[in-house]
Chain A
């Protein structure tokens, strides 16, 4: 039996509550490209701890409010 960790995020929701902050504005605040924010928001890229903290800082919240992880157990064989 294997364990799979899935990282999810609330960036879309947090952007909405931050007066509908645009992806470009968030990218500027976090110091990355818009493409990277799109990838993170869509769950296509898991950011480094450094970037995760910068994103959380951009929203003024704790990192746990932006990212969370789900542990899934996989049946093998």
Chain B
């Protein structure tokens, strides 16, 4: 499994964890009656908090991932060569993390999928408003479609890495 695939899986997992946590927290509060459907300020507050959590989680998970990757490479090099040469390990890490034209093309193509999902979510949220649903439904549709778009972007990347482009 290449570095790009591992990084994409990590991103997907982070996105899934944050989205699941948001759904449990926000809809849990909604079902228990703490959060009213017309209390848009509270909904916006929760969403902003979870956007912040998402960013912090992504950074922390990426740092942990890179540390684990470096340890993994060092162990592999140690087993292969019987010694742990820092320069050799650094070189291997650099080679693993190289981003070339295929990665950029895959990123661009999958970004389009993310935009399409987010766009569909935006249109759906407008339709929901027209159908006289509460504004919180529209807000949640927007939030979830953007999050899903980002997760699907990751899955598309995995698909292109597997099938080719």
CB atoms of A32 and B165 under 8 A apart:
no
Q: What are 10 A-B contacts with C-beta separation under 8 Å? A: A27-B95, A27-B98, A28-B95, A32-B101, A32-B102, A33-B95, A35-B161, A36-B101, A45-B165, A48-B101
Interface residues on B, range: 10 to 19
B120 to chain A, nearest CB (A): 29
- On A, residues with C-beta under 8 Å from B are 24, 27-28, 31-36, 39, 42-45, 47-48, 50-51
B88 to chain A, nearest CB (A): 13
Q: Helix, strand, loop or mixed for chain B's interface?
A: helix
CB atoms of B2 and A34 under 8 A apart:
yes
Q: Total A-B pairs in contact (CB under 8 Å)?
A: 48
| B3, B96, B163: the one within 8 Å of A44 (CB) | B163
A44-B164, A45-B164 in contact; A35/B102 too (CB < 8 A)? yes
Flag whether B62 is at the interface (Cβ < 8 A): no
CB atoms of A39 and B102 under 8 A apart:
yes
CB atoms of B4 and A35 under 8 A apart:
yes
Interface pairs A-B: 5 shortest CB-CB: A44-B164, A32-B100, A35-B2, A36-B102, A33-B98
A30 to chain B, nearest CB (A): 9
Flag whether B103 is at the interface (Cβ < 8 A): yes
Q: What CA separation (Å) do A28 and B92 show in the bound complex? A: 10
**Closest B residue, CB atoms, query A36:** B102
**Closest A residue, CB atoms, query B164:** A44
A48 to chain B, nearest CB (A): 6
CB atoms of A33 and B164 under 8 A apart:
no
Known contacts A35-B102, A36-B100; can you find 12 more A-B pairs with CB under 8 A? A24-B95, A27-B98, A31-B98, A32-B100, A33-B103, A34-B2, A34-B95, A35-B2, A39-B165, A43-B164, A44-B164, A47-B101
**Closest B residue, CB atoms, query A48:** B101
Query: Which residue, of B5, B96, B100, has the highest number of chain A Cβ atoms within 10 A?
Result: B100
Chain A residues near B2 (CB, 8 Å)? 33-35
Chain B residues near A32 (CB, 8 Å)? 98, 100-102
